[in-house]
Amino acid sequence: MAIISVLSCALSLLAQSNPGTPIASDKCVLTYDAAGNRVSRTAATDDLNTDSLSSDLGEIIVTPTITDAGVTVKTTADLSRCALRFAMSNLTGSNVSEGVLVSPSTHLDVPPTAGIYILNISSNSGSKSFKIVKR
C-alpha cells in the first residue's frame, strides 16, 4: 500500500507543477487543475498481449501465449522502414531462438521442451517482452 501512496503523491506533485496536463498510469489517466485538484480520471485499457512500442512501430500482438506448437507475431509496423528483431529465451536466460521479423504476420516455433519462455521483440526505439508457456 505504501508504494501506491508514494506513486499517487508523485503523480499529484507532477500534476501540480504542470496544471491541465494529463498524467498516465498503468490503469488510468488523471488530470489536475492549477490548485492540485483532480478534475478527471479516465480508465485506460490494458491488454497484456498488445503493446505499442512507439508511434512508428504500431502494435505488436503475440498469440497464443499458451501453446503446444508455436506462436504468431503480428505487427502493424512498416517493416520496410524498421527492423524488428526477436529473441526467445528460457527462464535461465539462455537464447533458444533469435532472428528478424520479415512479414506483418510471422509464425515462430517454440522449443519442444515444456516450460516458460520469454519472447523479446526489439527495434532501435524500444522493446517489448511476452511470456510464452509451452505445454
Place of cell 497484456: 48
Burial grade of 117 (CB within 10 A; 0-12, 13-18, 19 or more) = buried
Domains belonging to the chain, first-starting first, are 2-43 (no CATH), 50-134 (2.60.40.10)
Helix (H), strand (E) counts: the chain: 1, 12
pTM of this prediction exceeds 0.85: no
Spatial CA neighbour of 122 closest among 70, 71, 77, 72 = 77
pLDDT in tens, 28-73: 666 777 777 777 776 654 444 444 344 455 689 999 999 998 999 9
CA atoms of 104 and 111, how far apart (whole Å): 22
